[in-house]
Amino acid sequence: MTVSRAVFKYYLFKATEAVEFYRPIMYLYILSHGLSFTHVVVLEALYNVTTVLGEIPTGYVGDRIGRRNSLLVGTGLITATLVALAFAQSFPVFAVLFISWSLGYNFRSGTEDAWVYETLTDVSATEEFARVRGRGQSVTLAVGIVASLVGGYLGGLDLAYPFLAAALFTGLGLLVLVTLDEPETYEESGSSEMGLRDAWTVVTTALGQRRLRSFILYYYVLFSAVTYLVFIFLQPVFESVVTGLDPDLAIAVPVPIRAGDVSLRVAPDNVEALLGVYYAAINLASAGVSYRIDAIRDRVGLRGWFVGTPLLVGSLLVAMYFVHWVALAALFVGWAAVEPTRVLAGQYVNDRIETLGRATVLSALAMVSALTVTPFQIGSGVLSDAVSPLVALSVAGGVLVVGSVAILLWESPIESGAGPPPSSSDSS
């Protein structure tokens, strides 16, 4: 299979990542079963604890069984979980399914980027990773624009329908994956024969690099944790602000949402449709940036992007505490920046690790991120129930600003230029 044909199939696979069907109503669906914000963040914490415990083992399995097989296992598990979520009724059932959901993404985490990077390595085109990965993500987001609108509409009919639509769409990805070939770079690397001790050495060597340590803290710990909270609380904060700006929307529903000191009740028929449009707009902006991420990288530079983006997102989150309508811009920018930043982070890290054990190393980084997110989630959930989701996000924004400045004063997370993958001795 030629690289161009393989990349085209990769784009087809990215088109089947159907998260936007359920994303506009996901937490409304959970809350509609009588659960609280604390239940929501406990579910997300279970998801991330599973990620912590499962990332390295599944990354190791991905290195052993191959990139394609790992993606097949993960996609199949996600598809089955989405079907089951549509019929879930109680907190214990949701808890089991969130664990299963996490395991599915564990098998895809790291493996997808490893497959792309190594496919490009076959033709000495690793500098194209950001462009290919960015355009692949733009395909996902472009499809997500339509999926958000459809998901919002389906959610107005029944909050379970978007999960069934997502399961059907995700299952199509299995048909694409069975046609993929393994990169020659992977087959020649010896990853399929890597032992556990070898895997441990590969991970500790990679994560111990001086030129990666502050970047891991800056992006995988701080930025990822705060933007994940944006994902969790986007729906209730959006509803609070919108219903506060337009009292005509504030009519009875089963789920109370608080904004500051005012208790509001919102109408699903109106707000879910607005959420669908809002998510579609976010996806459109994120898709446009992701599609041109290589040009943005060349003009703004990695340093400019990674310094400016966290400070901008954090500042907007803090500002919405004082002026509530700013939340509409803060949530938009905070979530729209996630995928382009993830693409650039993938290029930066992949350029600095070796093929042997690549999926294991990338999974280890995802594990670090998930480990950090968990206490953020628990604390923000308790604060949300005690005060409001808007306050919890504003506090998280303050943490992002202060933490980013502290890391920048300590050590620049982005080194000048982009070097080749390091040798095993490049650590300290």
Each residue of 7-63: pLDDT tens digit? 888 899 999 986 778 877 888 888 888 888 778 878 878 887 887 788 778 877 877
Lowest mean pLDDT among 13-27, 170-184, 197-211, 326-340: 197-211
Does residue 310 lie within any of the structural domains? yes
Does residue 18 lie within any of the structural domains? yes
Does residue 289 lie within any of the structural domains? yes
Neighbouring C-beta atoms of residue 348, cutoff 10 Å: 22
278-318 pLDDT per residue, tens:
877 887 888 888 888 888 888 888 888 998 999 999 999 99
Q: Facing residues of 256 across strands?
A: 265
Does residue 419 lie within any of the structural domains? no
The CATH number given to whatever domain includes residue 225 is: 1.20.1250.20
Does residue 371 lie within any of the structural domains? yes
**pLDDT > 90? residue 164:** yes
pLDDT reported for residue 419: 43
Structural domain count of the chain: 1
- Residue 74 tokens read as 């993960």
**pLDDT > 70? residue 266:** no
CA distance 239 to 233: 10
pLDDT reported for residue 194: 63
pLDDT reported for residue 258: 37
pLDDT reported for residue 97: 94
**What three-state secondary structure class fits 262?**
strand
Identify the band that residue 417 occupies on the pLDDT scale cut at 50, 70 and 90.
Answer: low
Does residue 426 lie within any of the structural domains? no
pTM: 0.69
Angle at 20 between CA 336 and CA 12, to 5 degrees: 95
- Domain of 309, in residue numbers: 3-187+197-410
pLDDT reported for residue 73: 93
**What three-state secondary structure class fits 223?**
helix
Determine what percent of the chain is predicted with pLDDT higher than 70: 84
Identify the band that residue 252 occupies on the pLDDT scale cut at 50, 70 and 90.
Answer: very low
Does residue 416 lie within any of the structural domains? no
Does residue 192 lie within any of the structural domains? no
pLDDT reported for residue 145: 80
CA distance 270 to 253: 11
120-160 pLDDT per residue, tens:
888 777 788 888 888 888 888 888 888 878 887 888 888 89
Positions of E strands within 280-419? none
